[in-house]
Amino acid sequence: MLALQLGAAAQTAAAAKVARVEDDAWSPQVTWRRPDGWYATAIHASLLPDGRVLFIGYVRPSEFPTAFEETERVVFPMTPHALGAVLPPEVTAVPEDVPLDFNGELFFPYEIEDDLFCSGHTLTADGTFVAVGGTRTFGDVVTGNDYQSGLPYATAFDGATWVRAPNDMLVAGTLGTPARWYPACTRLEDGRILVTGGFDLVFPTLAANLSVEILDPADGSWTVASAYGATPTEIANPDYSHVQLLPAPVNGFELLVLGDDGLPVLFAPGGAVPWLVIQQQRPETPAGVEPNNGASSVLLPLRIAHGEWGYANGSVLVAGGGAGTPLMSQAAVFDPVASAWLPPIDLSIRRHHPSTVLLPDGRVLVVSGHDAVTADPGVTRAQYVDPARGFQVSWGRSQESVVRGYHSVALLLPDGRVFVGGGRDHETGATVEKTSFRYYSPGYVKKPRPAITQAPAALTYGAGFPITTAGQAPAEAVLIGLGSMTHSFDMNQRYVQLAVSSVAPAGGSGFDVVLVAPPNARAAPPGHYMLFVLDADRVPSTARIVKLS
C-alpha cells in the first residue's frame, strides 16, 4: 500500500510538473553581416510602426574573435521574417547614415567620435524613433588612450530620414556641460519624453548625471523637471533607471522609478514635493546588496477591473537581479497603490540581465540572461509568469543553443513571436556580443488562433471602433506598445485591456466586434500600439498596428 501511495504521489508531482511546461519553439539561428562582410550585433532594438525593427550596435571583422578587435558602431533596420518562412543562415545589416556632431574629426590631440551606443530611446506620438544621448569618444592620438562622455543631444528617425534635434540638453552634471549616457526615456501623456538620469562622464571614471529633464519632440525644446543635485540618489541604476508612467496618479505622484537598490521612488514633475522615496526595499534583499542591478522590470497589464488579477494598476514586476545573490532566481511585484511589495515569486532559474516581455495573453515572458556564476543551461529556457493565475510560473520545453546574457534584446512582434538576439556569455567581461538572433514562439503560436480581418488604422481616446474577426469569438482585446529595449529594460512597453462593447456573428466564422479605446492618455500615452484579440482560452490573434490619439 505504501508503495502504491508513493507511486500516486510521484505521478501527481509529475503531472503538476508537466502542466507547468509549455510546448514552445525556437527558430534556427540567423547571423547579421554588413554588406562588406563584417559581423553585426545589436544592443538596442525598437519596433517601428511600419513593422521593421531598428537596431543600434556595432560591427567587427570576425564572428568569434579570439580577443577584442577593431569595431565600428552601427545603426541598421531589419524587416522580421514572416511567421513560417524558411530562414536564411545570414541577413544583411545595411547601416543607416545618422547625423552626429562628430565623426572622427581631429581636434588635436583628440579625435572625436559620436554614436548612439548606450542612448535612451522610445517612440513619439507620431511614431518617430527618438534616441536621447549616447557615447562621445575622445581618442588621444598622442597617448593612444580613450576618454568617453555622454552626448548632449537627441536624434530622431521617422522611418525614412534622420535629424539631429535642434537644441542641446539643459542639465550640466560633473562635466559642467550637458551630457547623458544610459538615460531612461519615458513617454508622457502629453506626448513629451521624460529623460531620467544616466551618466555624463563615462570613462575612465563614471559620474552620474542625477537629474531629470523633458524633451518636447514637437519643437526640440527641453525643460528641467528635477535639477542636478535635487534628484534622489535612489533612482540611480548603472544600467538605466527603470521609469514607468502610472495609469493614474498615486497621492499626486505620476511616475514610479526603480533604481538598483530596490527602493521604489515616486515622482511628481512640477509638484511642491516632487519626490517620495518609499523605504521598502525589494523583499529578501541581503544586507549590502543592490538587488536590482541586472534585473529587468515591466509594468504589469492594465486591466479595466482594477485589482482583477490581484494587483492594482500601476504595479511593476521585477525579475532577476544582483549577480551571485538569491534575487537572481526571484521575481517581485511592487504595488504603488498599496505602497507595498507582494510576496516574492520563485523562478528557480538564476538570471542576471534577463529580458521581460509582455505577451498578448497577459503573461510576462522571462527570457535570456545568465547566472553570473556557472554555465547553467536553465537560462536558455524561457519562463512565463502569469499574473492572471496568482503569478504562476511555467517553463518553455525547448532550449536556446546559446546563452544570451548582458546586452541581449527581446521584442514582441505583431505576429505574437518574440525576437531575441545579441547578448554575451556568462563571463560577461571576457566575451563579446553574439552576432545572431532567433525568433521565439510561445505555445499559442501553434494553436488555432482568432484573426483580425478588418480594423481602423487610427483610434480616438474613449471612442468605440469596429473590427471584424475570424475564427473563435473574441473574448478580450488589448493594446500593447511597440517595444524599445536595451540593457534588460523596455522603455516603451505597455499593455492596456480594451472594453468589448459588442460581439455579433458576421456570417461564416466571422464576428463584428465593437471595442472601446482607452479612456485617456495616462492609461495609454499617444502613439502606436499592437491591437490583439484573444479567444476564451486566451489564445491571441496576430496584431494590427494602430495609432492612438
Domain layout of the chain by residue ranges: 451-548
Cis geometry, peptide bond prior to residue 204 (ω within 30 degrees of 0): yes
- Per-position pLDDT tens, the chain of length 549: 223 222 323 322 333 333 489 999 999 999 999 999 999 999 999 999 999 999 999 999 999 987 778 899 999 999 999 999 999 999 999 999 999 999 999 999 999 999 999 999 999 999 999 999 999 999 999 999 999 999 999 999 999 999 999 999 999 988 899 999 999 999 999 999 999 999 999 999 999 999 999 999 999 999 999 999 999 999 999 999 999 999 999 999 999 999 999 999 999 999 999 999 999 999 999 999 999 999 999 999 999 998 999 999 999 999 999 988 999 999 999 999 999 999 999 999 999 999 999 999 999 999 999 987 777 778 999 999 999 999 999 999 999 999 999 999 999 999 999 999 999 998 888 899 999 999 999 999 999 999 999 999 999 999 999 999 999 999 999 999 999 999 999 999 999 999 999 999 997 889 999 999 999 999 999 999 999 999 999 999 999 999 999
- Here the cell at position 11 is 505521478
Instruction: Please give the Cα distance from 229 to 127 (Å, whole number).
Output: 33
Q: How many CB atoms lie within 10 A of CB 336?
A: 24
Instruction: Please give the Cα distance from 310 to 81 (Å, whole number).
Output: 37
Instruction: Please give the Cα distance from 357 to 382 (Å, whole number).
Output: 11
Pairing of strands 146-150, 199-203: antiparallel
CA diameter of the chain: 87
- Here the cell at position 183 is 538615460
What separation, in Å, do the N-terminal and C-terminal C-alpha atoms of the chain show?
67
How distant, in Å, are the alpha carbons of 34, 55, 479, 491 from that of 78? Answer: 12, 8, 23, 20
179: left (phi over 0), alpha (psi -120 to 50) or beta: beta
The model carries a pTM of: 0.95
Instruction: Please give the Cα distance from 29 to 451 (Å, whole number).
Output: 28
Query: Could you tell me where the beta strands, DSSP code E, fall in 217-311?
Result: 221-226, 242-250, 253-258, 264-267, 275-277, 296-299
Scored b (16 or more CB within 10 A) or e, 197-231 reads bbbbbbeeeebbbbbbbbbbbeebebeebbebeeb
**What homologous superfamily does CATH list for 451-548?**
Immunoglobulins (2.60.40.10)
Contact by Cβ (8 Å): 30, 93? no
- Which residue type is seen at 325? T
Instruction: Please give the Cα distance from 300 to 319 (Å, whole number).
Output: 12
Contact by Cβ (8 Å): 407, 368? no
